[in-house]
Structure 1
Amino acid sequence: MVKLNKPRKPQTLLDQLPIEARLKIKKYSSDACNAAIHGQQIPVALGYELHRFSVIHGIRHHHGFAQELHGVAPEFTRALNARDIMSGIIPAKSEPDEIPYCIWHPEVPDESTLRALVQRYPQMLYNAARACAVAGYIDLYEELNPLPEVHVAEEEASYASAEKSNKGSQEIHQRITSQHLKFEIMNDNTRTVDIANPRVASLNGDTAFYSSLGGGKEHVEQKELKYFYREYGDFHCTSHYFNITEDWGIDDHDHEAPDAPESYFPLLYGPLPMDLPPVNKDKLIVMAAYSGDIDRYTRLHRPQMVSQEYFCIIRGIYHNSFWAKWWSTQITEDANTTRFSEFEIEQIQRAINARRIMSDDVTWVTADTPEDLLPMNIWFPKRACADTYERLARIRPDMLWPAGIQMAPTESETQEWKLQHLSRIVGPQMWMEANASRNDHYRRDIAAAVPDKLESLDRDYIARTLFGMISKEWHFPTPHWVDKWVDKNDPVHVGLRDYGEYDGVSVRVIPSIDFAVFARDAIGVDHDIWKNKKDGRLMMFEVYELLEAAEASHRSVARI
């Protein structure tokens, strides 16, 4: 049903400026965003990105809104054309960059409109087929006779059928997934359709499924747009990976899309099927990076980072030589590194170099190696041999302290040379490590090198707060007091700290995953206990209380 526009607010003199002039005005207004979202008024400051996305949202949800923007910019024209199609109107003429991608949200066109659309625009065959999958137009789908396309088959059909019990959607999904060969023609990341070059593919969770488009995020002013559609505090923590409606899902309030129909949990410990079921695969990506699983990661990862993925990549490099070697082939001058900032590329290279040292390889180190590529942690989770640390320190004396924590004096090493370099580089963290070592020669050397600084090193409260843990504590097992639980739907939680073992960052999967991977099946996901657990979580003591009660009941019945 076409939604009628609400009355517009009275115009001001700024509203009467030419559109070309308004496209240059960049100033955020909450009221302007809300008015555009509700299809009431076009913002004055059309140069501000959130305003433009608000306009696109308003166009898609309110037929007749912002008609004067047709032809002003391709994104506005695409939104207007999409709204017309959803309202049963076929655009008379469109340039290639004005053809919309998503024509099925917030409303699906009727069958006659889709049929006429494909007749006029044959290149929109798969857009129409996907709309058929959402709405369950099985007869029209058969009439269009598209190749079995994975985006049409994937969440678009499976989610629609699950949400609506739509037999037409279910049949379309089944017809595609039953084919031996399936193809990728649509691309939700780039909003492109390549009919001329279909690629053999499998279902891989790369579709912006229909139900996900129902989620939204309240617009807020930010200096850079990336912080609007990425969660605050984590550059790679995205609230959307797809933007098929071209409005980044903004709204006047936050609201979550439904969860995926199936749990990703069984895929954590089992092989990936040829066709992924309808799951949210983000945590599978995170765990593949965390453990350094090259095959799973290369199949699953998205063009855009998901939450915590980058930090898990770093952790995986430190723990897995093969993962480190693979990343050394990815992070090169001529590689596609658009997923990372320059700082992140540098940090990945530094982690690779740390793993190389721990693998006793210092062939890459020269006197000219940039200091920013020299890692600080070169002993956790694996220690190199003493010869490696000695060779490293002689090639790069500025690496003496990280190497020296593991390296005892040798006959070839003069005390004068060592104390001279120690006096230049000694700091609170090095002094903490020396005091914690069972070998007293490190503490004695520092005391000899900087006898007048020992008191200040002991009192450096800021350094002790920042560095917190000494290196030997990184090898300690999980403390007994760490909470453990079973999470019914989302057991993977990655914890971060501002300091730690991986060049300043601590990345750990919360220990409950080790418990949950076994105990979850002991309870069963269909148990009535979950009905009273709104957070979907059972603490360890609750698990054992439940199992003990069940065992007692079983014994009681057996006696009868």
Structure 2
Amino acid sequence: MGKDKKQKEKRQIPLDQLPLEKRLHATVYNADDCNAAIHGERVPVALGLEVSRLCVIHGIRHHHGFAQDLRGVIPEFTRALNARDIMSGIIPEMNNPEDVPYCIWHPDVPSQETLRALIQRYPHLVYHAAWACAIAGYIDVYKELDVLPEVHVAEEASYACAERKNEGSEAIYQLIVSQHVKFAVFNDYNRTVDISNPRVASCNGNTAVYSSLAARQAHKKPRVKPHDTSHYFNTTEDWGIDDHDCDAPPPPGDYLPLLYGPLPVDLPPVDKSRLIQVAAYTGDIDRYTRLRRPQMIEDEFLCVIRGIYHNVFWAKWWSSQIPETFGNEFGNGRNKRIRCAINARRIMSDDVTWVTDSTPDGLLPCNIWWPAVASPETYERLARKRPVMLERCLRACIAADYQEMWDKLLVSSSSELATSENIATESTTGNETQDLKLQRLSQMATTALLMEAEQSTNDHYLRDIQAAMPDKVEALGHCRIYDFTWESHISAKFLYSPGSDGYRLLDRNDPVRLGNNEGAYDGLWAKLQHVDFAVFVRDVIGLDHKIWKEKGERESGSEYITMGELYEALEADKTLA
């Protein structure tokens, strides 16, 4: 009893009375503690959760003097404390490389005197000082540093010039981009600095510029990750954690002209994400390989899938980027979906050489008939190699109106397609063949197959299904009401028929609007809703036309117009008509 009592008393020791090394392993989420840390008021008692540590790092960076007792506890805290000291004009002791912060300019840029003192003591931080100069426009200090023309510094300077009209930043930018050869010393994706082996590079939108660090995300009780994992920059090491959500200001440049023109050697300050999405959507290999980030951005995966279905060259390139096969769990889920899309494109390009008895069912696509159809012989061979694909091949026959192949697949004498009891032979009569076809059709007709047959201009397929199961067709049709899969609601006729969204929107600042509902790419969907409308018309109207101001006054700052509003503007402004 005495031992149990001691153990119970030990378990009941309050967290705030535990030594710091114990608190570093305490995984209790407390929202009030996190808020207090963000505001520099107190360090959370439990520091075992990543979200708690991120809040502390945020508090350290924004409040000088906060959490000084955490110096030396873990490298992340020490780096934050050193960054805050530098931003406050204090040069800290940094004898261990792990103690050197990557970003020393957010939320505050050090003074010129501080930067000079920093380099005097730590010469290897010369490029860090150059970056701070680009933000603040310290042209004289920048010239004193005598650094290589570095592309991250150039991109930061270009934003400072465009967003804040900083003349010193403009001068720094011009000094760098006027050089024939530029270099990359920084890597914002993994927070590394390589002075000894700088890479030849151009400005390519790979910089976490100062203004982008204004993006914030509210802390929350963690499930898997305490922050939005779609973020790709973490230069301040706090993942933008705060007590509220806030978007960063949009880049000052206009990306639309770069969608219909060649990319310049040095990318201007634009929304690179849109360029990546459109490159993936259209399957532009050169643009995509130049622009892509180390990890996929929001909706990029959907655009990649869409591009694979519509662009055989894109599909071929992606086939070399991911494994041909996967283990039982298929490894990376996105890679599995990409491989499945590649297989769909290969089928539609009349290649089924990759299909074997051991090909996992999860790599066999459902949509093998849009945006292109294969030859009838391809569907026949596919169904023979993998009978599980028969129903999909039959649907493809309806989509392509391969009536003869439809009949042939249903009465095939192949042992892979028919059982020993219903094999059709050369001696089979016409009536027996029809009976066999209807018998097999009655066993495999689905709501998706019925929908496809109902919408076909050739009634042969619907008559077969109705004859095969006269008492079940109506019930099968009703099942569609409760079948929420894309296969039962998206027909070839719908996809192949000319159509429109019914309306077009013209967004002044962000004309690329990506739709991503469930769709025909094996359940995935990506569609650029209105960009084709914008490519021509936005330049006709111009970004300074009074229609934008008038619309904003009517609808609380709205910056998009409809086609109806466009034509009204054309009628009212004869210079545009």
TM-score computed with the length of structure 1 as normaliser: 0.89
Q: Kindly state the Cα deviation for residue 333 of structure 1 after the two structures are TM-superposed.
A: 6.9
Following the alignment from structure 1 to structure 2, what is the Cα–Cα distance between the partners of residues 75 and 333? 40
Q: Does residue 247 in structure 1 map to residue 238 in structure 2? A: yes
For 1:540, the equivalent position in structure 2 comes to 563
Residue 279 (structure 1) aligned to one of 258, 267, 270: 270
Q: Does residue 457 in structure 1 map to residue 476 in structure 2? A: yes
For 1:505, the equivalent position in structure 2 comes to 524
Following the alignment from structure 1 to structure 2, what is the Cα–Cα distance between the partners of residues 482 and 465? 24
Q: Kindly state the Cα deviation for residue 452 of structure 1 after the two structures are TM-superposed.
A: 6.3
Give the residue type in structure 1 aligned to 2:317: W
- Aligned partners of 1:188 and 1:206 also within 8 Å: yes
Following the alignment from structure 1 to structure 2, what is the Cα–Cα distance between the partners of residues 349 and 164? 46
For 2:5, the equivalent position in structure 1 comes to none
- Aligned partners of 1:397 and 1:421 also within 8 Å: no
- Aligned partners of 1:32 and 1:41 also within 8 Å: yes
For 1:483, the equivalent position in structure 2 comes to 503
Q: Does residue 194 in structure 1 map to residue 194 in structure 2? A: yes
For 2:344, the equivalent position in structure 1 comes to 354
Following the alignment from structure 1 to structure 2, what is the Cα–Cα distance between the partners of residues 554 and 413? 64
Q: Does residue 267 in structure 1 map to residue 264 in structure 2? A: no
Following the alignment from structure 1 to structure 2, what is the Cα–Cα distance between the partners of residues 328 and 202? 28
Give the residue type in structure 1 aligned to 2:412: E
Within a 5 Å distance, the mapping from 1:45-84 to structure 2 comes to 45-84=46-85
For 1:110, the equivalent position in structure 2 comes to 111
- Aligned partners of 1:86 and 1:108 also within 8 Å: yes
For 1:531, the equivalent position in structure 2 comes to 549
Following the alignment from structure 1 to structure 2, what is the Cα–Cα distance between the partners of residues 383 and 215? 45
- Aligned partners of 2:570 and 2:576 also within 8 Å: no
Of 170-179 and 438-447, deviating more is 438-447
Q: Kindly state the Cα deviation for residue 15 of structure 1 after the two structures are TM-superposed.
A: 2.2
Query: 1:279-306: per-residue Cα shift (whole Å, max 9, x none)?
Result: 1111111110100000011111111222
Give the residue type in structure 2 aligned to 1:79: A
Following the alignment from structure 2 to structure 1, what is the Cα–Cα distance between the partners of residues 21 and 446? 59
Query: 1:1-40: per-residue Cα shift (whole Å, max 9, x none)?
Result: xxxxxxxxxxx94223212111111222211111000000
Q: Which secondary structure does the structure 1 equivalent of 2:517 belong to?
A: strand
Query: 1:372-417: per-residue Cα shift (whole Å, max 9, x none)?
Result: 1000000100011101111111111111111112142239824845
Query: 1:166-206: per-residue Cα shift (whole Å, max 9, x none)?
Result: 22211111100111100011011111101111111110111
Following the alignment from structure 1 to structure 2, what is the Cα–Cα distance between the partners of residues 87 and 35? 21
For 2:455, the equivalent position in structure 1 comes to 436
Residue 492 (structure 2) aligned to one of 447, 471, 479: 471
Change (3 A) 1:108 1:459: same
Q: What percentage of aligned pairs have identical amino acids?
A: 58
Following the alignment from structure 1 to structure 2, what is the Cα–Cα distance between the partners of residues 334 and 113? 56
- Aligned partners of 1:401 and 1:422 also within 8 Å: no
Q: Does residue 181 in structure 1 map to residue 181 in structure 2? A: yes
Change (3 A) 1:342 1:21: same
Change (3 A) 1:397 1:441: farther
Structure 1: any 5+ residue segments left out of the alignment?
Answer: 1-11, 231-237, 556-560
Tell me how large the CA RMSD over aligned residues is: 2.3
Q: Kindly state the Cα deviation for residue 151 of structure 1 after the two structures are TM-superposed.
A: 0.1
Following the alignment from structure 1 to structure 2, what is the Cα–Cα distance between the partners of residues 434 and 165? 63
Q: Which secondary structure does the structure 1 equivalent of 2:561 belong to?
A: strand
Give the residue type in structure 2 aligned to 1:273: P
Q: Which secondary structure does the structure 1 equivalent of 2:200 belong to?
A: strand
Structure of higher CA gyration radius? 2
Within a 5 Å distance, the mapping from 1:41-440 to structure 2 comes to 41-154=42-155, 156-225=156-225, 228-230=227-229, 238=230, 240-332=231-323, 342-405=332-395, 406=397, 407-410=405-408, 413-414=412-413, 416-417=422-423, 422=441, 425-440=444-459
Q: Which secondary structure does the structure 2 equivalent of 1:433 belong to?
A: helix
Following the alignment from structure 2 to structure 1, what is the Cα–Cα distance between the partners of residues 45 and 576? 71
Following the alignment from structure 1 to structure 2, what is the Cα–Cα distance between the partners of residues 164 and 285? 26
Following the alignment from structure 1 to structure 2, what is the Cα–Cα distance between the partners of residues 462 and 247? 46
Q: Kindly state the Cα deviation for residue 446 of structure 1 after the two structures are TM-superposed.
A: 4.2
Within a 5 Å distance, the mapping from 1:22-41 to structure 2 comes to 22-41=23-42
Query: 1:451-486: per-residue Cα shift (whole Å, max 9, x none)?
Result: 66544422212126753222221112223x621122
Following the alignment from structure 1 to structure 2, what is the Cα–Cα distance between the partners of residues 352 and 229? 29
TM-score computed with the length of structure 2 as normaliser: 0.86
- Aligned partners of 1:398 and 1:425 also within 8 Å: no
Following the alignment from structure 2 to structure 1, what is the Cα–Cα distance between the partners of residues 277 and 216? 24
Following the alignment from structure 2 to structure 1, what is the Cα–Cα distance between the partners of residues 525 and 469? 31
Change (3 A) 1:554 1:452: closer
For 1:235, the equivalent position in structure 2 comes to none
Change (3 A) 1:476 1:84: same
Count of residues paired in the alignment:
526
Give the residue type in structure 2 aligned to 1:489: N
Residue 495 (structure 1) aligned to one of 491, 507, 515: 515
- Aligned partners of 1:34 and 1:54 also within 8 Å: yes
Give the residue type in structure 2 aligned to 1:362: V
Q: Which secondary structure does the structure 2 equivalent of 1:306 belong to?
A: coil
